[in-house]
Amino acid sequence: MNKKALISVTGPTAIGKTKLAIALANHFNTEIVSADSRQFFKEMSIGTAVPTASELAQAKHHFIQHKSIVEPYTVGDFEREALNKIAALFKKHEVVVMVGGSGLYVNAVTEGLNNFPYVSPEIRSNLNQTLENKGLPYLQETLRELDPEYFGKVDIHNPQRVIRALEVCIGSGRPYSTFINKPKEKRDFSVITVGLKADRPVIYDRINKRVDLMMEEGLLAEAKSLHFYKSYNALRTVGYKELFRYFEGEWTLDFAIAEIKKNTRRFAKRQLTWFLKNIDTLWFNYDDDLSTILLKIDEELVNLIHE
C-alpha cells in the first residue's frame, strides 16, 4: 500500500463509535486517536463516557484523559498534537483510526483549521464572566451586532461557540466570519470517514439508557467533586452543568436528570447535522454487521492504492 490512510469514525453520541473504532484498530493492527473534546480531561470519566479499562486494553488509545480541566487546551492545540501523533503512528502503521463526536476537532485533523488571530485569554475570561452575570441571550445579541453573518450560521444555543466567535471579533476588531472558509493546508494522508447512524427514536432511547447507566455508575458523585471548578470551560458540558444546578438548589435531581437526557438528545441532533455535511462519509446503521463495514472499508483502501 503506497498511501497512508486515516479512518475517521463519526456519528452522534451513544451510537457505538468506540466499539467500531476498536474493531477497526484490531482489524488493521493499528492504534486509535480520540477526537472527543471532553474525553481529554482526566477528572471527567463517567459523564464523558470514557472507554472502559477493558476497551482501552483491546486497542491502544491516544488523547484519552491526558489533560486536566484546569489546563488551557484549544482545538488548535489538539490539531497540532494530533497531527504529530498521527505522523508518528504512520511510521509503523499503514492505517490509523480516529474516533470522536466533536465535529470541530475531527475537522481540525482531517481538513485543518482556519487561521485565527491571537486573542488574549483575558477576553475569554471576561466573556465567561458576562455569561455568568448576564446570560447567553446577552452574548447572542452582541454577536448579532458584531457579526450578523456568522450569527445566522452558528448554533447560538451553544455558549462555547458564541464566546469563541465573540472573542475573535473583540480581539481582532473584525467579524469572526472573515477568518473562516479560507484555503486550508492539504494533508499528506488520505481520509476515509465512516459514520454510524440510527433512526432518531433509537438514538434517543440509547441516550436515555446511557444517562441512566451513568447515574448508576456514580455520575452524581463525580459531578459533586467537580462543582468547585464549574467555571472552567471543560465543565460547561451536558451531564455536569445540569447537576451543578441541582447542587445549587435550583432544580430537583429528577429534573436535572431529565434535562441531561433532553440536552444530550439535542446535542446528538446537532452532531448529525454537522456530520451529514460531509458528502464523502460512508454511512452505516449502528447495528450493521461488522464484516459488512470492514468489507466496504477494505474496498475503499484498495481504491486509494489505485488512484
SS (H, E, C) 82-150: HHHHHHHHHCCCCEEEEECCCHHHHHHHHCCCCCCCCCCHHHHHHHHHHHHHHCHHHHHHHHHHHCHHH
The verdict on whether residue 13 carries a ligand-binding annotation is yes
The verdict on whether residue 16 carries a ligand-binding annotation is yes
The verdict on whether residue 279 carries a ligand-binding annotation is no
5-113+184-305 against 121-179: fold identical: no
Under 8 Å between Cβ of 101 and 10: yes
The verdict on whether residue 135 carries a ligand-binding annotation is no
Per CATH, which fold does 5-113+184-305 belong to?
Rossmann fold (3.40.50)
Closest CA to 245 of 268, 220, 266: 220
pTM metric for this prediction: 0.83
The verdict on whether residue 175 carries a ligand-binding annotation is no
The verdict on whether residue 264 carries a ligand-binding annotation is no
The CATH number of the domain covering residues in 121-179: 1.10.20.140
Q: What is the pLDDT along the chain (307 residues), one digit of tens a residue?
A: 458 999 999 999 999 999 999 999 999 999 999 999 999 999 999 999 999 999 999 999 999 999 999 998 888 899 999 999 999 999 999 999 999 999 989 999 998 887 777 788 889 889 989 999 999 999 999 999 999 999 998 888 888 889 999 999 999 899 998 888 666 678 999 999 999 999 999 999 999 999 999 999 999 999 999 999 998 989 989 999 999 999 999 999 999 999 999 999 999 999 999 999 899 999 999 999 999 999 999 999 988 877 6
The verdict on whether residue 15 carries a ligand-binding annotation is yes
Which residue ranges make up each domain of the chain?
A: 5-113+184-305, 121-179
The verdict on whether residue 11 carries a ligand-binding annotation is yes
